[in-house]
């Protein structure tokens, strides 16, 4: 098994990876504990220097479309919200090790990690969820930051995909595995998988396909929630609004898809948010790969599983999408 930074694993940079050749569970746990302990010391040192103790609050399934109202005045998506949703996801997964049981679930996780390691927009994800605040999405029962931030994460990864013929298809496959095995909200998962398996989802191949499909899917979710719950405060309106993107509309008030694509590429551009003040650390204080967040939290989850399943044997190398 290979341990190291996601980018080094993806590139198979063996000189920068730790190779665990022994396949005994005890030996693997010992190596993972060593890596985790070293990272925790670094994380605590960073947190002490940065000095913050903001707290995350409630997790809910209905918060996703609230972003359409609260971010109306923002020129770009909130990187803090994306980071908050990312870290919260790992926290949930770590607290629910049963979610990773079975070959299909582990394969889904590997594919999801591979997608995030190449397309995640954050330059500085941190392990401690308490050091992050949701900015645009809000918190609490009526404004659930995690779900809203998760939507922003998905949009941002679609925009960050490389311009390759099948990048959209590989991205969607990772999302499908995530929804089926890792999204611990059965109703949310069912709705998302239904959208993936619809005719529109089956035609996704390119980066542009992925961007536009997710935007349309998100607006369909908003419309459904508006019909189910009502919309007295405008939480479930179609997005972007005319106020936010006048050029996105035709005279008939229908969306102009080419203009919407340009808007989404600008709104979710990682270049655009790098100069925006981050909370609590300074922008660029660490890179996504340097934090080793993905490897460490997955390691914790795997350790929890292995301790309950002594005969479990890990594969010798990670699969990529």
Interatomic CA distance for residues 205 and 167, integer angstroms? 7
Determine the Cα–Cα distance for residues 284 and 120; give it in Å rounded to an integer. 14
The dihedrals phi and psi of 106, each to the nearest 5 degrees, come to -70, -35
Which stretches of the chain score pLDDT less than 50?
A: 43, 46-47, 49-72, 125-132, 134, 140-143, 275-321
Domain boundary assignment for the chain: 2-308
Helix axes 207-229, 145-159, angle to 10 degrees: 160
* pLDDT per residue as tens digits for the range 139-197: 543 445 567 777 888 898 899 899 999 999 999 998 898 888 777 677 888 888 999 88
Query: 2-308, which class in CATH?
Result: mainly alpha
Tokens matching residue 6: 């996601």
pLDDT at res. 50: 44
For residue 312, what are the CA distances in angstroms to 171, 199, 221, 229, 302?
A: 29, 39, 39, 45, 10
Handedness of CA 38, 39, 41, 42 (dihedral sign): positive
In this prediction, residue 274 carries a pLDDT of 52
Q: What are phi and psi of 19, to 5 degrees?
A: -100, 120
pLDDT at 105: 72
CB 306 within 8 A of CB 25: yes
Place of tokens 């990272």: 39
Structure tokens at 116: 């995030």
- In this prediction, residue 32 carries a pLDDT of 57
Query: For the segment 56-76, what is each residue's pLDDT rounded down to a tens digit?
Result: 333 334 444 444 444 445 566
CB 158 within 8 A of CB 211: yes
Token pair 């479990």: residue = 312
The pLDDT value recorded for residue 147 is: 73
pLDDT at res. 209: 96
- Residue 164's pLDDT is what? 92
Amino acid 11: pLDDT:
61
The candidate with the shortest Cα–Cα distance to 8, out of 118, 106, 92, is 118
């Amino acid at each position: 098994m290979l341990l190291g930074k996601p980018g080094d694993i993806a590139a198979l940079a063996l000189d920068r990876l730790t190779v665990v050749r022994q396949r005994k569970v005890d030996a693997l746990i010992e190596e993972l504990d060593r890596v985790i302990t070293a990272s925790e010391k670094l994380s605590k040192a960073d947190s002490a220097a940065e000095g913050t103790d903001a707290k995350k609050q409630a997790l809910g399934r209905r918060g996703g479309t609230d972003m359409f109202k609260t971010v109306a005045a923002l020129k770009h998506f909130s990187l803090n919200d994306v980071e908050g949703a990312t870290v919260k996801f790992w926290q949930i997964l770590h607290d629910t090790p049963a979610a990773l049981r079975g070959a299909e679930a582990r394969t889904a996780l590997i594919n999801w990690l591979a997608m995030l390691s190449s397309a995640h927009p954050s330059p500085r994800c941190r392990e401690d969820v308490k050091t992050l605040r949701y900015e645009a999405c809000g918190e609490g029962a009526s404004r659930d930051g995690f779900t809203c931030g998760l939507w922003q994460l998905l949009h941002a990864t679609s925009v960050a995909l490389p311009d390759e013929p099948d990048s959209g298809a590989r991205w969607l496959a990772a999302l499908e595995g995530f929804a089926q095995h890792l999204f611990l909200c059965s109703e949310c998962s069912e709705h998302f998988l239904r959208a993936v398996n619809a005719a529109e989802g089956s035609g996704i191949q390119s980066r542009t396909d992925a961007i536009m499909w997710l935007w349309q899917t998100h607006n369909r979710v908003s419309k459904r929630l508006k019909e189910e719950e009502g919309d007295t405060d405008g939480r479930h309106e179609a997005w972007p609004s005319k106020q936010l993107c006048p050029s996105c509309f035709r005279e008939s008030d229908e969306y102009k898809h080419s203009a919407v694509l340009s808007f989404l590429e600008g709104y979710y551009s990682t270049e655009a948010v790098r100069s925006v003040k981050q909370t609590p650390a300074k922008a660029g204080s660490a890179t996504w790969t340097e934090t080793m967040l993905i490897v460490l939290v997955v390691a914790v989850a795997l350790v929890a599983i292995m301790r309950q399943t002594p005969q479990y044997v890990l594969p010798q190398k990670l699969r990529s999408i």
